[in-house]
Amino acid sequence: MANSCTETKVAIDTCLLLDIFLHESELGELTMNVSDSPRFPVYLPPLLGIEAVATPAMRGDQQHPPIDNEYIRKAKEFLSSAAVL
C-alpha cells in the first residue's frame, strides 16, 4: 500500500547538531533552517540529548576550543525549547 503522506520527517543526529556549535557555518545554517522551519517535524535521537547534557561533566567544565560551555549551554537551550516528538 502506497503511503500518501507528503510530510517530510527530519532526524537530526549528533553530528548535525555539532555542526551548529563548531562554527561549520554551511552545515550549521542548513541544520538550523530545517530545525526552525514549521514545514518539517524534527526528530532528535534520545542519545543526542544525553550527549549534550552530559558534555560539561565529561569535559570537567573545561572551556577549550573548538567547543566550550557557552556552546553547550546553547545546545541545552535548543533541546529544551525544541518540539521533540
pLDDT of residue 84: 54
Residue 42 DSSP label? E
The answer to whether 40 touches 10, Cβ cutoff 8 Å, is yes
Rounded to whole angstroms, how far apart are CA atoms 72 and 51?
10
pLDDT tens digit sequence for 31-75: 788 878 888 887 777 666 666 666 656 556 555 555 566 766 776
> Could you state, in order of their start, the residue ranges of all structural domains in the chain?
10-82
